Chains A and B, each alone.
Chain A
């Protein structure tokens, strides 16, 4: 009887484990089965490097969106990483216990805010602010980068803080004993030792930024043209999909799924990079 239960429960656990794998595989099959024929029909180079996205005229070039996604993500990293890293250092090393009790839940709350709320905040607060600073409509690459930079903060802070805390205290103490100041010890002894963990946090942040949809779509302007500068509007891969999916038909719809394939490949690359770095930190 006891053994019977054991076998059943074994099966239950195995099934649970399988379901997530099956989900990933099903998504892969769906994406590639619908996307690859569309890419083939449009032509790989016309699709990936074409600069014109005019679905009604059968022009499906997503190069401006690829560039847009990369620019916005890079902008978000430039804004989010320094702030996030310094915040993590402060929280792990310098923060008084009382303040920490407020800071930590606040950052966790920040991670839980739905992205559409960030989007509304961006549209109502950051966009008008940008209109005054940079002129134009205020919906631009810079606005989207700012908003995304804010949104990836909790991810970066969370991972970086635990990476810093994981560094043995003797690094810090050893540095102090050699005569370095507390700040110098943190930045030149503890931080380099937590390098791989921090990198992992940054890469998770990149993953979040490139996949973010609802917030970006409201503040980036969504023009499907090559970006001309920080103050010009852009369209990201995710925005392209969500903007047009509701109304798309025929090849247009398949081209959007193909856009998702490209996005999926990006995410795959980022995740691979993440696991490589994570493995290296174990060695």
Chain B
């Protein structure tokens, strides 16, 4: 399986994503934001970081960079595009995903482990996972998901909510919401479920010496689903 990770100026999880994808069997290529064409890919990843310093608005400038034309076309033709953290912010700025990511409710950067509940398995990312609750890691300042009421109704109707923040037993009460995001949303799909944006970083949890190993389960399953 071939993957591409886009490096924007200010991306800083691009290497980590490369390490994770390669570890679980992807043939990964790093792609520069100023390139025009995407290499042939089964999966495109927009990594975390601070593209363009998060100046103006997180993800806004990166969403206009040259490579994004190809990425958007790739997504519109059904290709798998996954945005992690800043990548999620870029995806909402392109309009591929609905809503926006506001500043965290308590106005502070948060770096810690959280639990998330997988809500929807009818998609190439979570299909065949026999686990419901994952321990993932978050590190962000703007992860507070927000959208209009109409948009929310629509994403609910279309089963677009990918993962919710919860406790280790899967309870999704407000108190387990680290950043104030609407309905505890930690990640969403587009209507077609080929585009996924999420705040947690599965690439930081890929061996037992790190914060945990639930990221390994995610990547192993993802590559199997794509085969």
| Physical interaction between A and B | no
User: What residues make up the interface of A, taking CB atoms closer than 8 Å to B?
Assistant: none
